[in-house]
Structure 1
Amino acid sequence: MPRLSLRHAVRAALAAAVPLALLGAVTGPAHAAPRAAWPEPVPVVPRIDTTDPVVFITIDDGWFHDPAAAKLLLDRRVPASLFLLPGAYSYDSGYFRDLLAGGPSRVENHTVNHPDLTALDAAGQTAEFCGARDRHLAQFGDGPRLIRPPYGVYDATTRTAARACGAKALVTWTYDLTTWGQWSPPTPTLKAGDIILLHFNETLEDDLTRALAAAEAAGLRPAPLRDYVPE
Structure 2
Amino acid sequence: MSIVRALRAVFAVVVPLLLIGLTTPAQAADWPTPVRVVNRVTTSEPVVFITLDDGWNHDPAAQNLLLDRRVPASLFLLPGAYSYDAGYFHTLLDHGPARVENHTVDHPNLTTMDAAGQRGQLCAAREKALAEFGQEPRLARPPYGAYNDTTRVVARACGAKALVTWTYDFTTWSGVTPPTPALKSGDIVLLHFNETVAVDLARALAAADAAGLRPAPLRDYIPD
TM-score range for the pair, normalised by the shorter chain length = 0.7 to 0.9
Aligned length: 199
Letter in 1 for 2:120: A
Deviation for aligned residue 1:35: 3.1
2:104 paired residue number: 111
Q: Any stretches of 5+ residues in structure 1 without a counterpart? A: 1-32
1:184 paired residue number: 177
Matches within 5 A, 1:113-128: 113-128=106-121
Q: Deviations over 1:157-203 (max 9, x none)?
A: 00000000110000000000000121000000000000000000111
1:142 paired residue number: 135
Letter in 2 for 1:36: V
Q: Is the 8 A contact 1:177 1:196 kept in 2?
A: yes
Larger radius of gyration: 1
Q: TM-score, normalised by structure 1?
A: 0.85
Letter in 2 for 1:192: S
Cα root mean square deviation, aligned: 0.9
Q: Is the 8 A contact 1:145 1:226 kept in 2?
A: yes
Matches of 1:39 and 1:206 in 2, distance apart? 43
Q: Secondary structure at the match of 1:34?
A: helix
Matches of 1:96 and 1:183 in 2, distance apart? 27
1:203 aligns with 2:199: no
Letter in 1 for 2:220: D
Q: Any stretches of 5+ residues in structure 2 without a counterpart? A: 1-11, 17-30
Taking only the aligned residue pairs, the percentage that are identical comes to 71
Matches of 2:118 and 2:47 in 1, distance apart? 32
Matches of 2:41 and 2:106 in 1, distance apart? 27
Q: TM-score, normalised by structure 2?
A: 0.87
1:23 paired residue number: none
